[in-house]
């Protein structure tokens, strides 16, 4: 029903906006909660056991994270008499809130729910989960001052490594995208303490790249690597562009995805954290491997010669192809 869909999407926007605008922890928590409750019906809209399972898993993790957040902010008010987000001073609630927000967006080692949940959703809801749902917790992470840098660096490094290792043995595209999301979030958290503007840049470029990747897979109607091997007949033009999109996601120059990594490594080196930068760069190689694998499956394997499969790409709707064209161009040439 379009009315219900409109209401849910409005709730989704409202929750994020409330969190953006809040300076009081209770209001921020309320925004996150509205956000979670609005996306849950969207996730379970296909009444399939797998979708319902994913929704339940998502609901439980988000409820846990929200409860942790509420507990930490109440503790902070009890210890310091402050409800203000930017006035956090006590290390205990600070650490707890950082961990709660990390659980919300799926940073390692609290990342195990994300691939499971994303695998159970269709590509459109998966896209919303991978992009829009990250905004509100990120706004809070950016606002919290004086967190112990060790925690953020540990979370960031763990995420880039977990995102790299986890994606290696996956054949399901949604799980690969989930691990890729974890790795990208790791890069963002790594630099959060030293240069928040770089974090925002990385988030923005990640959104553009993820958007085009999800739309490509949606147009192809493909959910596993096997389905990509026959995409040449479905959408020839798209198939020749997709490897560039994927390699941009992996962060190869001269594509857009290289920009945030380049600047983040430069900033880490400026902060005398060369070993950290080296580790992060090496962990990016892991992600690059599985992007290359998908690109290989898509363009360098011979497709079966079936003439009936040649037609679908002529009839794709402009609602999908226009944003796809814009996002793909941005993903490939923004550097």
Has residue 105 been placed in a domain? no
In a domain, 10, yes or no: no
How many angstroms separate the CA atoms of 284 and 164, rounded?
7
User: 218 is in which domain, residue-wise?
Assistant: 148-332
Q: Is residue 166 within 8 Å of 115, Cβ to Cβ?
A: yes
Mean pLDDT, the chain cut into blocks of 10 residues (335 residues total): 96 97 97 97 94 98 98 96 93 96 96 97 96 97 92 97 95 97 97 96 97 92 87 79 93 95 97 96 95 90 62 69 91 93
Name the H helices within the chain. Answer: 2-21, 25-43, 49-80, 91-105, 113-119, 123-130, 135-143, 149-168, 173-192, 196-220, 225-229, 231-234, 236-250, 258-270, 274-299, 318-333
Residue 140 falls inside a structural domain: no
CB neighbours of 34 closer than 8 A, spacing ≥ 6? 11, 14, 15, 18
Instruction: Enter the pTM of the model.
Output: 0.94
Pick from 59, 66, 72, 73: nearest CA to 25: 73
Q: Please give the distance of CA 229 from its chain centroid, rounded to a whole number.
A: 25
Please indicate, yes or no, if residue 142 is contained in any of the structural domains: no
Total residues belonging to the chain:
335
pLDDT at 141: 95
Is residue 66 in a domain?
no
Q: What is the predicted pLDDT for the residue at 138?
A: 96
Q: How many domains does the chain have?
A: 1
pLDDT value of position 57: 98
Residue 308 lies in a domain: yes
Structure tokens at 328: 């793909």
Distance, in Å, from the CA atom of 198 to the CA atom of 187, rounded to the nearest integer, reads 10
The single residue listed with the structure tokens 């919303």 is 128
Q: Which two tokens stand for residue 37?
A: 């409750």
Residue-level pLDDT at 232? 77
């Amino acid at each position: 029903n379009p009315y219900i869909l409109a209401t849910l999407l409005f709730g989704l926007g409202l929750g994020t906006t409330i969190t953006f605008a809040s300076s009081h922890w209770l209001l921020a928590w309320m925004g996150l909660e509205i956000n979670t409750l609005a996306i849950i019906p969207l996730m379970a809209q296909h009444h399939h056991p797998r979708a319902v399972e994913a929704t339940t898993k998502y609901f439980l993790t988000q409820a846990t994270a929200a409860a942790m957040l509420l507990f930490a902010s109440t503790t902070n008010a009890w210890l310091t008499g402050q409800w203000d987000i930017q006035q956090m001073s006590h290390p205990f609630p600070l650490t707890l809130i950082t961990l709660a927000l990390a659980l919300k967006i799926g940073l390692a080692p609290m990342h195990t729910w994300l691939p499971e949940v994303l695998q159970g959703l269709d590509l459109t809801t998966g896209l919303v989960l991978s992009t829009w749902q990250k905004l509100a917790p990120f706004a809070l992470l950016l606002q919290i001052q004086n967190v112990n840098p060790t925690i953020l660096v540990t979370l960031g490094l763990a995420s880039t490594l977990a995102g790299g290792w986890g994606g290696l043995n996956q054949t399901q595209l949604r799980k690969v995208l989930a691990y890729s999301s974890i790795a990208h979030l790791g890069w963002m958290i790594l630099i959060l303490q030293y240069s928040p503007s770089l974090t925002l840049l990385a988030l923005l470029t990640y959104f553009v790249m993820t958007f085009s990747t999800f739309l490509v897979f949606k147009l192809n109607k493909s959910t596993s690597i096997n389905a990509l091997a026959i995409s040449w007949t479905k959408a020839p033009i798209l198939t020749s562009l997709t490897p560039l999109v994927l390699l941009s996601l992996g962060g190869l120059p001269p594509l857009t995805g290289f920009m945030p990594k380049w600047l983040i490594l430069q900033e880490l080196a400026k902060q005398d954290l060369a070993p950290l930068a080296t580790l992060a760069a090496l962990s990016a190689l892991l992600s690059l491997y599985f992007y290359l694998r998908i690109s290989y499956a898509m363009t360098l394997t011979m497709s079966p010669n079936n003439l009936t499969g040649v037609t679908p790409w002529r009839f794709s709707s402009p609602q999908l192809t226009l944003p796809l064209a814009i996002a793909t161009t941005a993903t490939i040439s923004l550097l």
